[in-house]
Structure 1
Amino acid sequence: MMQILEILISGITQGAVYCVVAVGLSLVYGASRILNFAHGSLYSLGGFLAWYLVVGGPGLPLWLAFLLILPVLALTGVVIERAIIRPLRGSDNWKINTIMVTLGLAFIIENGLQLVFGPGTRTIPPFVEGSLSIGGITITWYKLSIFVISLALVGTLELFLSSTRYGQAVRAVSQDMQGANQVGINVNQVFSTTFALSVVLTGVAGILLAPVFLVSPLGGWAPFLKAFVIVVLGGLGSTKGAFVAAFILAVLEAFVIFYIGPSWAMPAWLLMLIIVLMVRPKGLFGVWEN
């Protein structure tokens, strides 16, 4: 029984970080119907920026590097939307073109990281050491910290979307872009904001997981694939669905890794996705309609 609880806790703590990555991808798709294939590369970018500030450069504390990187990630999201995505919107086959462009952007970011930092992997020391033992169950303070930070980020985003005027504008654009434009909502500004938030979220996940996993220039594809499966399972465009699906799949992954092996984790995810889509083709919580 104690072993099962430890596996469950491990899955839940991992699920919080998966949730941050997936919610960012879901947010952009929900607002603009854009599937950003560079999402995983931006995850790696966040990890490498943190590594440079903490280990490879000025040697800042991780929490300070974290605060300095946030505006950089937000600005990166705005630049991507305005310089790369916005010119494509409204053209013929713009959704397919956007996929191709963001896929190319992913390769550019990956190669840029390799040129600047080299092809090797990096790691970052956690900002808190030690572990907590309760009733025979042990969890590191760092994993507990990233669990709390991840939930705080997702909770703040959900509060922003549901309780603020600007958040309601984002929801309005996601539901009816033309109608939102007609009532005076600046649709382009909403797109820039959602991209900025999305890049911040995935970059933050890269920073939080850097002390746990190695940071690699090519390491963004696994987080992207997992985020994509989570978003589809939860319902394309549904941040609530991404939240629930992230924890379901993370707990499933924890049990599969422990009882069968790590190589079976992704097949188990895909099997779960197939089963759910057979019953609910739109995912657990449907989609936002334009």
Structure 2
Amino acid sequence: MASGLSVVWTTLGVFNFAHGALMMIGAFLAWTLVEPVGLPLPVGILCGALGAAALGIVIERLLVRPYYGNRNMLLITVMTTLAAMIIMEKGAQMIWGARLKQLPRLIDGEISIASATISAHEAVMILLAPLVLAAIWAFTVRTNIGRSLRAVGQNQDSAALIGINVPFAFALAFGLSAALAGLTGALLGSIRFITPAMGADPLTKAMIVVIFGGLGSLGATAGAAYLIGLIEAILVLWLGLYWTPFVLFLIMIVVLVFRPNGIFGGNQ
């Protein structure tokens, strides 16, 4: 989730508040293909991610692209993506209903490590997360298309002058970001209930991670994600679930005050 937000911010300089709803759409699409249709779970997860990617490109084309160059683009895209979030959540409730749904797990059983016990599905997610991050890094560093995204993020005008298709780069960034959200939703759909509002809490945590690590850096986002996850686990153990979100937001505020570019970002 956080890496998807980071990709959009790095390339376009905007926050996509529909990111959590795209995660929910990915989960619902995967559930539809796996349960009613009967496709294998890995196929459903892949299709959920691709479906979310396609919807992300549509959002960029209809709700973000018309405002490129507008001096109030950041504020406008906040409103348009928030509107997209509401439309998708209400639309999902109309299509799939309000009844709780859940995907089967990739692997059944549990794994014990020291005194901790997790499900085998969660173990797969733990292994899959760094692989996905490594694949995104390789894409943005090793491929021409990925390097074009980084070039557009650094300077859009210069990128256009050397022949990079800037609108295509923007659409690609939104599609890649949405695919990551959809993949997240499809994987979490096996350990959480799938509901129209399931993306709200992960979106909030993803925003904290991106701000904590430093905007515009995928590596910083990855490091911050693991650090925030560890901090959250410790806070839940010491303070409980009720106070943990408050402390996480407090940490984010402190970071913004003393390190506006994030813990892993450079100094201003």
- TM-score (structure 1 length as normaliser): 0.87
* 2:3 aligned residue: 23
* 1:269 aligned residue: 248
Amino acid at match of 2:14: I
* 2:73 aligned residue: 94
C-alpha deviation, 1:137, in angstroms: 4.1
* 2:26 aligned residue: 46
Distance 1:284 1:172 in 2: 24
* 2:56 aligned residue: 77
Distance 1:92 1:174 in 2: 17
Amino acid at match of 2:5: L
- C-alpha contact 2:24 2:198 (8 A) present in aligned 1: yes
Secondary structure of the 1:133 match is: strand
* 1:186 aligned residue: 165
Distance 2:105 2:219 in 1: 29
Runs of 4+ in 1 over 6 A off after TM superposition: none
Amino acid at match of 1:74: A
Matched, 1:131 2:110: yes
Aligned residues: 267
Amino acid at match of 2:233: A
Gap regions ≥5 residues in structure 2: none
Secondary structure of the 2:242 match is: helix
Matched, 1:278 2:257: yes
Amino acid at match of 1:139: I
Cα deviation 1:96-148 (Å, max 9, x = unaligned): 11111111000000000010111232211212101223445433211110111
Superposed counterparts of 1:195-214, under 5 Å: 195-214=174-193
Distance 2:256 2:76 in 1: 27
Matched, 1:121 2:100: yes
Secondary structure of the 2:14 match is: coil
Matched, 1:164 2:143: yes
Distance 1:67 1:91 in 2: 36
Secondary structure of the 1:263 match is: coil
- C-alpha contact 1:121 1:217 (8 A) present in aligned 2: no
* 1:244 aligned residue: 223
Matched, 1:220 2:204: no
- C-alpha contact 2:48 2:186 (8 A) present in aligned 1: no
Secondary structure of the 1:119 match is: coil
Distance 1:134 1:238 in 2: 32
- C-alpha contact 1:61 1:127 (8 A) present in aligned 2: no
Q: CA RMSD in A?
A: 1.7
Q: 1:135 to 1:108 in 2, by over 3 A?
A: closer
Distance 1:152 1:40 in 2: 22
After superposing the two structures, state which structure 1 stretch, 263-272 or 32-41, moved more: 263-272
C-alpha deviation, 1:152, in angstroms: 1.2
* 2:235 aligned residue: 256
- C-alpha contact 2:49 2:181 (8 A) present in aligned 1: no
Amino acid at match of 1:29: W
* 1:66 aligned residue: 45
C-alpha deviation, 1:73, in angstroms: 2.2
Secondary structure of the 2:118 match is: strand
C-alpha deviation, 1:285, in angstroms: 2.9
- TM-score (structure 2 length as normaliser): 0.94
Distance 1:116 1:173 in 2: 37
